[in-house]
Structure formats: structure tokens, C-alpha cells
Structure 1
């Protein structure tokens, strides 16, 4: 059986900026028959995520992320429909997902790596299982639950950087649902700011490319910042930390401003900012959603309920065609 797949063609280098030519589309063959325990499926959706920039390096800088190998197929979160099964848990027509789905049109996978999905949970909107009702939603929800220390009625202010992104747009809404009284987003265009306020329920949004972020934060967060959902790191995070209150909390979700640089994770703070963090007893602990597997099922049910009730608004970008996946990745890394 001939299929199409996307392989890593070259590495951008730890300090380099990825280009489309780092990936290559090619034809490959799959065995015509599957063996006991295997499942053959047709790929429906693949997720493109910022963490994948680290997997383009020979050393990902992380003990839980394996690097993609040159001339080998890339992989990540994926969803497909079963076409043939020799695993007891799956039958033809089942919708399945895996964290390690190869970037190819059809796949043969070990059934032990797959989870069966219930399309009714998302009213048939299957791509949500890779976003708001999947690892993205779990990261936002569990990050806030486990590291945010949000308390109903405590009049807390949350700031979200990368607020118009997949995690950020959900995090702001979840922060509100969990009890924050004020939510302020930081993003990169006036249009994104408008969407956050008019559609996502943020109280205000800052375009970091316009004006002084620190001054705008001071104005929009008069009582200081109690919870910071950090997707970006760098200068923006330094400005937020300067505004944070005593005993406040940073949810360290991502540091995308640092992903094209050879720095450790989490990147160290500048000495003056680190001094503020310590003096004000601000928590800044690494957060990894995979450490909370026992809470995934209940959390996904909660996310799906919010989506169905209209309490959690979902924005997603869907690009058709496997050949376009490299360009989609660049959008993440260069945004």
C-alpha cells in the first residue's frame, strides 16, 4: 500500500529559525497485512504544536521529548478512523487517537498506543479532541487547577500571555470559570485583542507590539496580578512578574519566545526579576500535563461539558492537506 508521509529533511539548529525546507513530503509503502494487536487507520487530523520546535533539534533539552530523526517520519497528536483491526479493543469505523501519530495519510499502529474516542462528547467536532477537549485543553485546565491556586470569591486577577493561542485563549476562559474576577490577555495584533474581549470574555487585552506593556499592565491590573499563565517567557513575562503580588503564582505552560535559542528550560530569569520573584514568594514551577494522567478523563469530561454549554468558546485553525503541515508549523514558531 502506497501512502504519503512527511519526514524531517534537515535541522534548523538550536539557535536557528525553522524553514519549510526542514520538512519533506515523500511516498512510502505500508504492509498490506497487519499482525495481531495492530490497527490500521486513515489519518483524519494531526495537531501542530509549539513544543515540536524542540523535537527538530538533535537534543530536545527535555527528558520526556524524543527528537525527530532525519529522513524519518515526524509524529505528534493525531486522530484517525480504524479501517482494519486485529486488536480486541477496536473495530472498523472506530475513531481513535494517539500522542505519537505518524504524519502520514494511513498508519499501522500498536493498539496499546491508541485510545478510543466518543464523537458525541464533542458533537462530532473531532478536531476538538486535539485542542480544547484534548491535550491543549488539559494543559490549560490542569495548569490552572494544579499551579494557579485560583479561589472562588478571592477577587484574583489573571494575566495570560500568548492569549490568542490555543492554550492561552482557553486558559483565560477557564480562569474565569474557576473564579478569577479579572482576566487580561497579551497578544500580538489588535484583531486578536478584539476577539479576546468580544468573544472569549477577557476583560481587556494588550497588543504587546504597540505601546509599553508594563504601563498598560499597571493600568489594566490596578490590584496587581495574582495568577500568570505564561506561554511566552522573555521580556513580556519580565514585565508581568514586575506587577505580581505577594504569594502569587506563575503557571509555566510554555516559553515560545525562547524556543529558537539554546537555553535551558525553564529559561532563567534576569537577576533583577528573579530577585522580585523570590522577595514576593512567587511560585514558578515547571508544569507538565503528562504528570497528571490520572486526572485526564474527568478533566476532559468537564471541558466537553463547558464546550456544549457554550461556556468555553473554541477557536481553531484547520489546514487541509498533509503537504501543508510544515508551513503550519512555521506559523507557530514565527508568530
Structure 2
């Protein structure tokens, strides 16, 4: 059977910006028959996420991430429908997902590597299992629960950087649901800031491209910052940390501003910022959601319940281009994804 797939064509270098030329769209073939324990699946959704920038390097800088190999198919979070099955627990028509889904139209996979999905849990929006009810939502929820030390009635203020991203927009809402009394987001346009406040329930939002971020934080967080959900790192995080309270907490989710730089993870803070962190006893520990998979099932059910109740809002933009659906959640990869996958149908989380 002939399929289309996306392979890594070249590496951008540790300090390079990803380009469309780093990938290649090509035809390939898969077996016509399915072996015992296998299933043939049609790809419905793929996820493009910030961590994938590290996989474009020869060395990912992490012991839990494997680099993509040149001229080999890329992979990541994906969802598909079973077309043929020789696995005892999966049948034709079942919807399934995997963290290592190949970027190709049709694939033959080991049935044991797949998780069966229940569309009713997300009101039929299967793509949510890669977003709000998937690893993105789990990252936001478990990050807050495991590293945020949020307590109902404690009158805590949370700040979220990258607040208009897939994870950030959920984190702000979950922070409120978990007990934060005030939630402030940081985003890059007035439109995004408006959506955060008017649709996502944030108390306020800062356009970091306009004005002094530290000054605006002082005005919007008069009692200081108790919890910081950090998606971006860099100057934005330095500004937030300068406003944090004694014994406060940083949820170190991502450092998007640093991913095209050859720096260790997590990137060290500037000396002045690190001095503030130590003097105020601010926790800043690396957070990896995969370390908490024993809490996955209960957490996914919680996320699905909030979605069904309308307490957790998800905003998506859909671009109709081909039979796949892509979630470009990393701005640095959006342009190359669009340029490369011109024939793909793309759905983008807000």
C-alpha cells in the first residue's frame, strides 16, 4: 500500500531556527497484510509540540527523548481509526492514540502500543485527546497539582506566561478551578489578551510586546505572585520572578524562548534573578508529566468532566488542507508545518 509520510530531511542545528526544508514529504509503502497483534490505522490527528524542536537535534539534551533520524519518518502524539485489526482488544472502527504515532497517512502499528479512546468523554471532539484531555491538559493539571501548591482559600495569585498557547490557556483556567483567587496571563497580542479575559476567565492579561511587563505585573498583581506557570523562560520569566512572594512556586513547564539556543535544560537564571529566587525561597524544579502517569487516568477523567460541564474552554482554529489534522502549538514550528504540509488539514489550538 502506498502512503504519504513526513521525514526529517536535515537538522537546523542547535542554535538554528527550524525551516520547512528540514522536513520532506514523500511517498512510501507499507505491507498489504496485518500480522497477529497488529492493526492498520488511518491517521486523523497529529500533534506538533514544543519539545519536538529538541528531537530535531542529534542530541536532544534529555534522557527521555529520542532524536528523529535523518530520512526517517517523524513521530509524536497522534490519533487514528482502526481499519483492520488482528489484536484481541481492538476492532475495526475503534479510535486509538499513541505518543509515538508516525507522521504518515496510514500505518501498521503494534496494538499493544495503542490506547483506545472514548469519544463521548469529550463530546465527540476527538482532537481534544491531544489537547485539553490529552498530554497538554495533563501537563497543565498535574503541573499545578504537583508543583504549584495551590490551596483553596489561600488567596493566591497565579501568573501564566505563554498564556494563549495550548497549555497556558488551560493552565490559567485550571489554576482558577483548583483554587487560585486571581489569574493573570501574558501573551503576545491584544486579541489574545482579550480572549483570555473575555472567554477563558483570566482576571487580566498583559501584552508583553507593549509596555513594561514588570510594571504591569505590579499593577495587576498588587499582592505579588504566588504561583508562576512558566512556559517561556527568558526576559518574561525574569520579570515575573522579580514580583514573586516569599515561599512562592514556579511550575517549570517549558522554556520556549530558549529552544533554538544551545543551553542546558532548564536554562540557568541570570545572576540577579537567581539571587531573588534564593532570597525568597522560590521553588523552581523541573517538571516532567511522564513522571506522573500513575495519575493519568483519574486526571483525564477530571479534565473530561470539566470539558463536559463547560468549565474548561478550548478554542481551536481549523484550516482545511488534506486528510490529516495537525496541532501546531509551537509558534516556531507553525510556519514550517504550514509550508511543508501544504496538503494537510490543520487544526490549531488557541
| Cross-structure match for 2:79 | 79
Contact 1:213 1:236 in 2 (8 A): yes
3-state DSSP class of the match of 2:79? Answer: strand
Seen in structure 2, the aligned counterparts of structure 1 residues 281 and 334 have a Cα distance that, compared at 3 Å, is farther
1:143-173 Cα distance to aligned partner (Å, 9 max, x none):
0000000000000000000000000000000
Q: Secondary structure at the match of 2:172?
A: helix
Gap change, CA 1:322 and 1:16, over 3 Å in 2: farther
Q: Which residue of 1 aligns with 2:5?
A: 5
Please report how far the alpha carbon of residue 334 of structure 1 lies from its aligned counterpart in structure 2 after TM superposition.
7.4
Deviation at 1:323, TM superposition (A): 9.5
**Partner residue of 1:290?**
290
Post-superposition offset of 1:111: 1.0
Q: Which moved more, 1:283-292 or 1:323-332?
A: 323-332
- On the 8 A contact 1:256/1:333 being kept in 2, the answer is no
Counterpart of 2:259 in structure 1 is 259
Preserved CA contact (<8 Å) 1:150 1:178? yes
> What are the residue-to-residue correspondences of 1:185-264 with 2, within 5 Å?
185-264=185-264
Judged with a 3 Å threshold, the aligned counterparts in structure 2 of structure 1 residues 159 and 224 are, in CA distance, closer, same or farther, namely same
User: 1:73-152 residue pairs with structure 2 within 5 A?
Assistant: 73-152=73-152
Deviation of 1:328 (Å): 4.5
- Following superposition, the deviation at residue 316 of structure 1 comes to 2.5
Instruction: Quote how far apart the aligned CAs of 1:292 are.
Output: 0.6
Q: Provide closer, same or farther for how the CA distance between residues 124 and 332 of structure 1 changes in structure 2, counting only shifts above 3 A.
A: farther
Q: Which residue pairs with 1:182 in the alignment?
A: 182
- The residue matched to 1:47 in structure 2 has which SS? strand
Report the Cα offset of residue 89 of structure 1.
Answer: 1.0
Partner of 2:35: 35
Task: Please report the TM-score for the alignment, with normalisation by the length of structure 1.
Answer: 0.97
Contact 1:35 1:86 in 2 (8 A): yes
How do residues 37-76 of structure 1 correspond to structure 2 at under 5 angstroms? 37-76=37-76
CA RMSD across the alignment? 1.7
- Contact kept, 8 Å, 1:23 with 1:326, in 2: the verdict is no
**Counterparts of 2:163 and 2:147, CA distance in 1:** 18
Change (3 A) 1:166 1:327: closer
Of residues 314-323 and 177-186 in structure 1, the stretch that sits farther from structure 2 once superposed is 314-323
Gaps of 5+ in 1: none
CA deviations on 1:12-69 (whole Å, 9 max, x unpaired) are 1000001111111000000001111111100000011111111111111111111001
Count of matched residue pairs: 335
3-state secondary structure, aligned to 1:167: helix
Distance in 2, matches of 1:2 and 1:246, equals 60
Q: Secondary structure at the match of 2:202?
A: coil
Tell whether the 8 Å contact from 2:252 to 2:284 is kept in structure 1 after alignment.
Answer: yes
CA distance in 2, matches of 1:51, 1:109: 23
Q: Deviations over 1:171-220 (max 9, x none)?
A: 00000000000000001000000000000000000000000000000110
TM-score (norm 2): 0.93
> Against the structure 1 CA distance between its residues 129 and 37, is the aligned structure 2 distance closer, same or farther, given a 3 Å change threshold?
same
Aligned-partner Cα distance in 1 for 2:8–2:39: 25
When residues 243 and 316 of structure 1 are mapped into structure 2, their CA distance, relative to the original with a 3 A threshold, is same
Cα distance in structure 1, aligned partners of 2:13 and 2:322: 24
Match of 2:316, SS state, is coil
Unaligned runs of 5+ in 2: 336-350
Give yes or no for contact 2:158–2:180 (8 Å, CA) kept in 1: yes
Answering whether residue 302 of structure 2 is matched by residue 279 of structure 1, we say: no
